[in-house]
Amino acid sequence: MTQSGVSFSYNNHRDFLIAYPRFHFESLAHDNSARSAEVQSVGAIPDDKQDSTLPAIVLRGNQMVPKFNQTTPDKVQILMALFRIESKRIDLVVTFNIPLEAVDGGVVNSRDMGKVEADFDTFSRSLRIVDFGLFA
Protein backbone atom coordinates (compact mmCIF):
# COMPACT_ATOMS: atom_id res chain seq x y z
CA MET A 1 0.00 0.00 0.00
CA THR A 2 1.06 3.58 -0.53
CA GLN A 3 0.32 6.57 1.67
CA SER A 4 1.70 10.03 0.93
CA GLY A 5 4.22 8.53 -1.47
CA VAL A 6 5.56 6.09 1.16
CA SER A 7 5.36 2.43 0.21
CA PHE A 8 4.54 -0.14 2.89
CA SER A 9 4.76 -3.90 2.51
CA TYR A 10 3.22 -6.23 5.06
CA ASN A 11 4.29 -9.69 6.13
CA ASN A 12 1.20 -10.14 8.30
CA HIS A 13 -1.74 -8.33 9.93
CA ARG A 14 0.47 -7.16 12.84
CA ASP A 15 2.80 -5.35 10.42
CA PHE A 16 -0.25 -3.57 9.02
CA LEU A 17 -1.40 -2.47 12.49
CA ILE A 18 2.02 -1.07 13.30
CA ALA A 19 2.86 0.66 9.99
CA TYR A 20 0.09 3.26 9.84
CA PRO A 21 0.26 4.60 13.40
CA ARG A 22 4.06 4.60 13.21
CA PHE A 23 3.86 6.67 9.99
CA HIS A 24 1.66 9.27 11.73
CA PHE A 25 3.83 9.22 14.88
CA GLU A 26 6.95 9.90 12.80
CA SER A 27 5.13 12.67 10.90
CA LEU A 28 4.16 14.25 14.22
CA ALA A 29 7.76 13.98 15.43
CA HIS A 30 8.90 15.76 12.28
CA ASP A 31 6.27 18.50 12.70
CA ASN A 32 7.30 18.91 16.36
CA SER A 33 11.01 19.11 15.40
CA ALA A 34 11.55 16.28 17.87
CA ARG A 35 15.16 15.44 18.60
CA SER A 36 14.17 11.83 19.21
CA ALA A 37 11.02 9.74 19.03
CA GLU A 38 10.39 6.26 20.39
CA VAL A 39 7.32 4.07 19.96
CA GLN A 40 6.61 2.13 23.15
CA SER A 41 3.56 0.13 22.11
CA VAL A 42 0.92 -0.28 19.40
CA GLY A 43 -2.35 -2.12 19.80
CA ALA A 44 -5.87 -2.44 18.45
CA ILE A 45 -9.00 -1.62 20.43
CA PRO A 46 -11.54 -4.48 20.16
CA ASP A 47 -14.46 -3.68 17.87
CA ASP A 48 -17.43 -3.80 20.23
CA LYS A 49 -19.26 -0.59 19.26
CA GLN A 50 -21.76 -2.24 16.92
CA ASP A 51 -21.65 0.67 14.44
CA SER A 52 -19.83 1.63 11.24
CA THR A 53 -16.96 3.45 12.97
CA LEU A 54 -13.86 1.30 12.68
CA PRO A 55 -12.04 0.52 15.94
CA ALA A 56 -8.98 2.54 16.85
CA ILE A 57 -5.39 1.50 16.56
CA VAL A 58 -3.61 3.09 19.51
CA LEU A 59 0.04 4.01 19.91
CA ARG A 60 2.01 5.12 22.95
CA GLY A 61 5.39 6.78 22.49
CA ASN A 62 7.75 9.47 23.71
CA GLN A 63 9.24 12.43 21.91
CA MET A 64 11.97 14.81 23.02
CA VAL A 65 10.66 18.17 21.80
CA PRO A 66 12.35 21.56 22.19
CA LYS A 67 9.86 24.28 23.07
CA PHE A 68 9.96 27.98 22.25
CA ASN A 69 13.66 28.32 21.37
CA GLN A 70 14.77 26.27 24.40
CA THR A 71 17.98 24.29 24.00
CA THR A 72 16.88 21.52 26.37
CA PRO A 73 13.99 19.48 24.96
CA ASP A 74 10.91 18.48 26.94
CA LYS A 75 9.97 14.81 27.22
CA VAL A 76 6.42 14.42 25.93
CA GLN A 77 4.41 11.22 26.00
CA ILE A 78 2.17 10.84 22.96
CA LEU A 79 -1.03 8.83 23.13
CA MET A 80 -2.34 8.44 19.59
CA ALA A 81 -5.62 6.98 18.35
CA LEU A 82 -5.84 6.24 14.63
CA PHE A 83 -9.19 5.61 12.97
CA ARG A 84 -8.81 4.44 9.37
CA ILE A 85 -11.72 5.54 7.19
CA GLU A 86 -10.93 3.49 4.14
CA SER A 87 -14.11 4.37 2.25
CA LYS A 88 -12.97 8.02 2.27
CA ARG A 89 -9.25 7.16 1.96
CA ILE A 90 -8.34 9.16 5.07
CA ASP A 91 -7.05 8.59 8.56
CA LEU A 92 -8.52 10.39 11.55
CA VAL A 93 -5.69 10.85 14.05
CA VAL A 94 -6.15 12.20 17.57
CA THR A 95 -3.25 12.72 19.97
CA PHE A 96 -3.00 13.47 23.65
CA ASN A 97 0.36 15.15 24.36
CA ILE A 98 1.46 14.74 27.98
CA PRO A 99 4.51 16.60 29.29
CA LEU A 100 6.59 14.25 31.45
CA GLU A 101 9.71 16.41 31.81
CA ALA A 102 9.71 20.13 31.02
CA VAL A 103 12.17 22.96 31.33
CA ASP A 104 9.42 25.15 32.80
CA GLY A 105 8.36 22.46 35.29
CA GLY A 106 4.84 22.12 33.83
CA VAL A 107 4.55 18.33 33.93
CA VAL A 108 1.72 15.89 34.59
CA ASN A 109 2.05 14.10 37.93
CA SER A 110 1.38 10.38 38.35
CA ARG A 111 -2.14 10.89 39.77
CA ASP A 112 -3.16 13.10 36.85
CA MET A 113 -1.46 10.71 34.40
CA GLY A 114 -3.92 8.01 35.43
CA LYS A 115 -6.80 10.39 34.67
CA VAL A 116 -5.33 11.30 31.26
CA GLU A 117 -4.87 7.63 30.37
CA ALA A 118 -8.44 6.85 31.44
CA ASP A 119 -9.77 9.76 29.37
CA PHE A 120 -7.75 8.60 26.34
CA ASP A 121 -9.03 5.03 26.74
CA THR A 122 -12.64 6.25 27.01
CA PHE A 123 -12.20 8.44 23.93
CA SER A 124 -10.54 5.68 21.88
CA ARG A 125 -13.27 3.18 22.69
CA SER A 126 -16.27 5.50 22.35
CA LEU A 127 -15.67 7.71 19.29
CA ARG A 128 -18.54 7.30 16.87
CA ILE A 129 -18.65 8.92 13.48
CA VAL A 130 -22.29 9.71 12.84
CA ASP A 131 -21.93 11.47 9.48
CA PHE A 132 -19.22 10.09 7.19
CA GLY A 133 -20.17 12.87 4.75
CA LEU A 134 -17.96 15.17 6.83
CA PHE A 135 -15.01 13.49 5.15
CA ALA A 136 -15.14 14.53 1.50
Return all residues near 21 (Cβ < 8 A) that are at least 6 apart: 42, 57, 58, 59, 80, 82
pTM of the model: 0.83
What is the pLDDT confidence band of residue 122, given thresholds at 50, 70 and 90?
A: very high
State yes or no: pLDDT of 115 exceeds 80: yes
pLDDT digits (tens, 9 = 90+) for 43-95: 988 777 666 667 899 999 999 999 877 889 999 999 999 998 878 888 899 99
Contact 58, 22 (CB under 8 A): no
> What is the SS3 assignment for the chain?
CEECCEECCCCCHHHHHHHHHHHHHHHHHHHCCCCEEEEEEEEECCCCCCCCCCCCEEEEEEEEECCCCCCCCEEEEEEEEEEEEHHHCEEEEEEEEEEEECCCCCCCCHHHHHHHHHHHHHHHHHCCCCCHHHCC
pLDDT digits (tens, 9 = 90+) for 92-110: 999 999 999 988 888 898 8
Phi and psi, residue 48, nearest 5°: -125, 20
